[in-house]
Structure 1
Amino acid sequence: MGIRCLIVDDSAAFLAAAERALSSQGISVVGVAQDGAQAIAGVDSLRPDVVLVDVYLGAESGFALAERIEADVRARRWAVQVILISSHDKDEMMDLLQDSPAVAFVDKAELSAQTIQGALEGGRT
């Protein structure tokens, strides 16, 4: 696959579990972040292909962070794709998802190398 991934979630337990699971499935997890500042720093220094961003990050929403990431990388003229993740129902946030620069939404329970690859190839899910 060769996908370089940064995972952003405020739960250290989820970050560890997702990193283990995705790494074992061939995704190169280049870093993790627990808030927006760490995420932007990670995007800038690690230059991942995709950033998995939890919709609910505490002080900052994943939607706002997705917009910040898009603006940051656009200013630097290179690309990264954002996939929003959550354990909450996609239907609850459909309007926000449609207005987001994220390429897709993936339920945390379905997070896998296959769902990431599918989201990157197929766009919005």
Structure 2
Amino acid sequence: MNARSALLILLGLVIGALGTVFAMKALGSRNPMPHAVMTVMGHHMGALSQAVKARQCDAAQVNDHLLRLQSTSADIAEAFPGAEQDFVNHAGRLRTALQGAVQAHPLDCAALATAIKPVDDACQSCHQQYR
């Protein structure tokens, strides 16, 4: 291998490394809010669904998860700036369903399952179209 080939290989490696650094910085600077909001909501919905499946529905814990879901759902519009109106409408239906679930104040698993059904339906409807 001559010196010219070695220099070109070295130059290619340096350019590749610099390109990788710039690409990683660009990916890292993306808005983490949409993923964070959906992760938090998924955690609380998962906890509620698991409580129903395990038939261990503590009213205080259920209420806490529902209130946190309701609070987090208020961040959806801010997390997805510039979203189309239909997406915003889906988020509104979710907030309405969560308001109903919170107001129902489910005290047992049967009541919780009934209360979160419209919430789950609202989530699924949006995810089918936008996920």
Structure 2 length normalisation: TM-score? Answer: 0.26
Structure 1 length normalisation: TM-score? Answer: 0.27
Structure with bigger RCO (C-alpha 8 Å, 6+ apart): 2
Which protein has the bigger helix share? 2
Which protein has the bigger strand share? 1
